Amino acid sequence: MATAYNYRLSVAPMLDWTDRHCRYFHRLLTKETLLYTEMVTTGAIIHGKQDFLAYNEEENPVALQLGGCNPEDMARCAALAQERGYNEVNINVGCPSDRVQNGSFGACLMAEPAAVADCVKAMKKAVDIPVTVKTRLGIDDHDSDDFLYAFTDSVVDAGVDQLTLHARKAWLQGLSPKENRDIPELQYDRVYKAQERYKGFPVAINGGIKTTESIVNHLRNVHGVMVGRAAYQNPWLLTSFDETLGSVANSVSREEVVEAMIPYVNKHIASGGRAWHVVRHMLGLFQGLPGGKRWRQYLSIKGPKAQSGESLLKGALDFKNDHKKPISELMT
């Protein structure tokens, strides 16, 4: 099964985290990595009053993750995404949230492979961009290879362009969405087996991946790697991704990234937004470095009421570097 799907590294769709401000920031750290939106439901796109497809052109390549199970609605939203310039549309069959279960999308759809296959077929007819699926290894007590392959065979046969497998099953009964990110056992070997099953077809692995070394190791066994919380909490990790993919290493400094974000923050404020909407995604920029905690403290205290991106971000840099300034000064 030959494929033209070329994205090998991506940042996972994460609810309340990977919004357009986060993705703009992340794009300064990596040029090649595919960035995903938060999950957006078909109902929000079709019936919502705000523009749920808005994004910055600078974010490309960017993929829209859709939540839904009605083939007509999924196809309609995929077409709208293609019109707006998205590079991919992804179907959410992995999220274990209560909100997801009630809306008949997310991980619960693993039990309905024919329904997801119908969505894939309808979307493929509507768009030329890749249609992909993100899912888990199973749900509740249904976590055998037979159950997994009944689902993945169905969507692969339907023409899906790529699969991302979160290397855990989802407990829909008894665990919260947060607990589902950690408690179910990671089973990387099962994702490797799936890649073996679909030779020449792009399978990506997701779940618990935190270092460049682990990314390189996974890429020896699967086509792609999706990184989630580690990329958000320690965004500097993203600067290693382009070189990992064989491209030119990103030589930007953290301070240059901060400078590049100032006009973006100011533009958002001028449009009626708040600086905090943007800078909350930058808290981990100096993770693990001297002054990293002071950087987070300054942004967390000053960010919510800031009226200027320049004074906020430059003030945070100054406070990070001047260890003689007490944190009590920030309270005034």
Catalytic residues: 95
CB crowding 174-208: b at 16 or more within 10 Å, else e: ebebeebbeebebbbebbbebbeebeebbbbbbbb
**Alpha carbon of residue 203 to chain centroid:** 16
| Cα separation, 264 vs 43, whole angstroms | 30
- In terms of C-beta density within 10 A (0-12 exposed, 13-18 middle, 19 or more buried), how is residue 54 classed? exposed
CA atoms of 267 and 271, how far apart (whole Å): 6
Please measure the distance between the N-terminal and C-terminal CA atoms of the chain and give it in whole angstroms: 63
**Cis check: omega of the bond before 61, within 30 degrees of 0:** yes
| C-alpha 268 chain-centroid distance | 22
Q: Is 131 within 8 Å of 124 (Cβ atoms)?
A: yes
Q: Which residue has the tokens 């019936």?
A: 47
- Report the alpha-carbon distance of residue 258 to residue 293 in Å, rounded: 16
The first and second tokens of residue 125, run together, are 């007819």
